[in-house]
Structure 1
Amino acid sequence: MANRVSASITLGGTLSPYAYEALTALITAEALSTEWDGEPFETDHHVPGTALSLFAHEVANGRFEALEAWCAEHGIAFARWSGAYPSQWGAERVVFTGAGEPISYPVDEDDYVVIGRAALERLASYDAVLAYFDAADFVVPPLVVDKAAPFPQELLARPGFVETVSS
């Protein structure tokens, strides 16, 4: 059985209505809610014009693997926090800006970024340290559902998403 901790994730970017439906199917599969100990997520829980913040306790390995992979594949920005599991891993914040690769930052249990001596020596300058903190403090943009957004056909093959689209 996997080690489990509390975790949260904030999502943002622009999606088609079909892609939003696929995203919400993944969110539902992860049993996430819009507040700690809240009701299970439903599509109308997202407040337009804001990023979508989701929370859960007892998250396997502190990661939302399918959701994070889907977001990275489709350019949806996210920032995920997960608590530490003693003797296994420390608390972390993973940031994906919508492009490139997700980057992990060590944090404490209150989600404050921490930095060790080796990282300070590697960064070597005050400006580089500030840039490191700025990158870790990435502000996730609002999650926007836009009918004009492109709809990737591969979404139809995702588990939990059934839709017929005429060509």
Structure 2
Amino acid sequence: MADRVSASITIGGTLPQSLLPDLTTLVQAEGLSTEWDGEPFTLSMFREGVPLELMAHEVAWGRFEHLETWCVEHGLPFTRWSGAYCGQWGAERVVFTGAGEVKSYAADEDDYILIGRCTVERLGSYEAILAHFAAGDFAVPPLRLMP
């Protein structure tokens, strides 16, 4: 059985309208809602022009693997926060800017980026530390449909 925690994901970018049903199917398969303990997501809840914010409790390993992979394949930026599982892993924020690699940042239960001494030493300068925080605080753009 999978270890489960609360998690949320915010998705943005530009999506071909023809792929909206696929996105909806993936979101529904993950059991996501637009609010904590809310009704399951339906297409009628989609609002164009704002990032799509989704959440759920009891998420296996704190990841939305199929949805995240699909977003990467289609170049849709996202951030994901997942809570810690005592004795197994800490809370984290994952960032995908729409290109490049998916990056993970240590976070707390309130989704604040954290760094330890080893990260400070690796980054090496105050400017690099600020850049690290800025990258982790990536602002997901609005989700827009294109014909």
TM-score (ref. length: structure 2): 0.98
Larger Rg: 1
Task: Tell me, in whole angstroms, the C-alpha distance in 2 between the residues paired with 1:19 and 1:13.
Answer: 13
Matches within 5 A, 1:8-157: 8-147=8-147
For 1:98-148, what per-residue CA distance to the aligned partner results, in whole angstroms no more than 9, with x for missing partners? 00111000000000100000000111111000000000000000011111x
Q: CA deviation at 1:46?
A: 2.0
C-alpha distance in 2, partners of 1:145/1:39? 24
Structure 1 residue 52, shift from structure 2 partner? 0.1
Unaligned stretches of 5+ residues in structure 1? 148-167
Q: Which runs of 5+ in 2 are unaligned?
A: none
Supply the RMSD in Å over aligned alpha carbons. 0.6
Quote the sequence identity (%): 64
CA distance in 1, matches of 2:69, 2:93: 16
Amino acid at match of 1:129: I
> What is the distance in 2 between the residues matched to 1:140 and 1:20?
18
Distance 1:71 1:48 in 2: 17
Please report the TM-score for the alignment, with normalisation by the length of structure 1. Answer: 0.87
* Whole-Å separation in 1 of the counterparts to 2:43 and 2:139: 23
Q: How many residues align?
A: 147
Secondary structure of the structure 2 residue equivalent to 1:55: strand
| Aligned equivalent of 2:7 | 7
